[in-house]
Amino acid sequence: MKKGLILVLVLTLFLKLVFAQVESSFTGKVVTGDAVNPFNINITVSIANDTSKPNITLIAPDNAASYSSNSVTITFSYNVSEENSIVNCSFILDGIVNITNGSIVQSASELGFVLTFTPSNHNWNINCTDNSNNIGNSSIRNFTVTAPASGSSGGGGDKGDKGDKGDKGDSMESDKSQKSEEDDKKNILFDIELSIPRKYKEVLSGEELLVQLSLFNLGRINRLDLAIEYIIKDFNGNDIIRKEEVVAIETRVTHSKIIQLPQNLDNGKYTVTVNVRYLDYFGSATDTFEVVSKKKMIDPLYLIIISLSIGISALIYFIFRKINSKKIKTKKRR
């Protein structure tokens, strides 16, 4: 009986270690029998994979924010919520990862990136990755930096006139701030989701990479012909691959793209960014994969199932052997 319990406990510990490698949660329970039925053993195993993505909320600046300066420093603030640990968060400018922060304090009410800009137009968003490699993408906002006016010649109004104009400008800015949330919704024409299947999260150099893209038409235009750009970069920001294509959607399309990786690709992690454009509308999503020198021969899930089957079979064999041994001893005594 003790040997059987030891076998079950060893099996439970082994399964726990395996699940720790595949970044899943695991609970095991062993219930032994009582004096009436000493060979009644129940094994309960529950498995829960973490598939929830980090939830990101953008705080500032507002969508369609405008700055008048030849050089302005902007703080892009946000917060992120996630049950598990956040590995990193990235600031994405015009669809390209610009800065990555690997020291995220999840309890902080506000996180941010600080950058300086000259006159230009940009869009930005944030994505965050948790310790189960789930990636959450925020909404996309845009902003404009314009050069200040160089001054005007000729007659001007009096101070009252200028004051009236200033009050009007303040009122317009206030209205813009109040309507920014509504503008966010009105400016969204389509939505996108990007994922790399688990099988392709680890690939060899020179293999094919499968990228799955879900495109949603939010209904303002019956048909959208979307220009899609795929960008693969290393974690140093160097371009590896750029590909383009056009995909038409009416309501929703799940689109799969196979990308052939170069033969001489170094081992390490890479990002796949998908930029989607329609006229002046723009969307972006990012996921990651890793190039390895040797892939695992057996999927961890199959290894768990095989190990569990062997363990339970051995336990059943041990119990029946014990029962038969007791029956033989009883017959000899008679």
d(CA 258, CA 278): 22
Q: What is the pLDDT of residue 110?
A: 79
Q: What is the pLDDT of residue 126?
A: 92
Decide if 192 contacts 215 (C-beta within 8 A). yes
Please give the structure tokens belonging to residue 264: 């001489």
Examine residue 178 and state whether it is found in any structural domain, yes or no: no
Instruction: Mark whether 273 and 233 lie in a shared domain.
Output: yes
Examine residue 180 and state whether it is found in any structural domain, yes or no: no
What's the helix, strand, coil split of the chain in %, to 5?
25, 45, 30
Does residue 125 surpass a pLDDT of 90? yes
Instruction: Mark whether 86 and 110 lie in a shared domain.
Output: yes
Last residue of a domain, one of 147, 174, 205: 147
Least confident interval from 119-123, 177-181, 303-307: 177-181
Does residue 260 surpass a pLDDT of 80? yes
Instruction: Mark whether 241 and 308 lie in a shared domain.
Output: no
* Tokens 């902007």 -> residue: 74
Examine residue 170 and state whether it is found in any structural domain, yes or no: no
Instruction: Mark whether 216 and 259 lie in a shared domain.
Output: yes
Examine residue 183 and state whether it is found in any structural domain, yes or no: no
Instruction: Mark whether 194 and 291 lie in a shared domain.
Output: yes
> What confidence tens digit (pLDDT) does each residue in 69-84 have?
888 889 898 888 887 7
Instruction: Mark whether 64 and 134 lie in a shared domain.
Output: yes
Examine residue 18 and state whether it is found in any structural domain, yes or no: yes
Last residue of a domain, one of 120, 147, 174: 147
Please give the structure tokens belonging to residue 24: 């899943």
Q: Which has more pLDDT, 258 or 314?
A: 258
Does residue 123 surpass a pLDDT of 80? yes
Mean pLDDT of the chain: 75
Nearest-5° angle of CA 143, CA 146, CA 151? 150
d(CA 33, CA 31): 7
Q: What is the pLDDT of residue 24?
A: 43
Instruction: Mark whether 216 and 281 lie in a shared domain.
Output: yes
Does residue 229 surpass a pLDDT of 90? yes
Long-range contacts of 43-48 (CB under 8 A, 24+ apart): 43/8, 43/312, 45/15, 45/308, 47/19, 48/24
Instruction: Mark whether 310 and 271 lie in a shared domain.
Output: no
How, if at all, do strands 141-146 and 65-68 pair?
parallel
- Residue 91: give its domain's CATH number: 2.60.40.10
Does residue 286 surpass a pLDDT of 70? yes
| Alpha-carbon torsion, ordered 106, 24, 126, 258, to 10 deg | 170
For residue 329, give its domain range.
2-49+297-333
Does residue 14 surpass a pLDDT of 60? no
Examine residue 237 and state whether it is found in any structural domain, yes or no: yes
Does residue 320 surpass a pLDDT of 80? no
Rounded to two decimals, what is the model's pTM?
0.43
Share of the chain above pLDDT 90, in %: 23
Total domain count for the chain?
Answer: 3
Instruction: Mark whether 37 and 125 lie in a shared domain.
Output: no
Examine residue 249 and state whether it is found in any structural domain, yes or no: yes
**Which range, 10-19, 56-65, 247-256, has the best average confidence (pLDDT)?**
56-65
Examine residue 169 and state whether it is found in any structural domain, yes or no: no
Instruction: Mark whether 224 and 138 lie in a shared domain.
Output: no
**Which range, 278-282, 299-303, 324-328, has the best average confidence (pLDDT)?**
278-282
- Residue 223: give its domain's CATH number: 2.60.40.3880
Decide if 259 contacts 271 (C-beta within 8 A). no
Q: What is the pLDDT of residue 270?
A: 94
d(CA 287, CA 200): 12
